[in-house]
Amino acid sequence: MRIGELARATGVDTETIRYYEKAGLLPAPARGSNGYRIYGTEHLERLAFVRHCRALDIPLAEIRRLLEFLLHPETDCADVDRLIETQLERVRARLASLQALERQLSALRGRCATGRLAGDCGILRELLAAAQEEVRPERP
């Protein structure tokens, strides 16, 4: 299959497929006499694996490590467990950060009273004050 067919079959953009090839996540495809890339089942399965890992927000370097484990099934998989545990810690940290963001936005939303003019908007005043605080030079 050609790259467009592979892209449609996996839901991965053609530029991303080319990038994954350059990054070594996909093996180099054969080339037809016309120079076009020719992908096989191996590429389809590997790309589906990479796409699934990316959906779990696993970094490319870690995906590369997981692929090495697939290529060497005789190796101990303790590192795979640690890799996923590290990813889980990243996700938990991101969730905590998003919850803090939610609290900030809720507090900001509470600064607004309905039926007021933009000039009286507590949200705009709060955002402006925070922005001005960021650009003020430090006091001696």
**Tens digits of residue pLDDT in 85-126:** 999 999 999 999 999 999 999 988 887 767 678 877 888 888
Residues 6+ apart with CB under 8 A from 131: none
When pLDDT is averaged across residues 29-58 and rounded to a whole number, the result is 94
CA atoms of 48 and 1, how far apart (whole Å): 15
Amino acid 109: pLDDT: 83
Is residue 38 pLDDT above 70, yes or no? yes
Q: Are 54 and 26 in contact (CB under 8 A)?
A: no
Is residue 24 pLDDT above 80, yes or no? yes
> What residue type is assigned to position 135 of the chain?
V
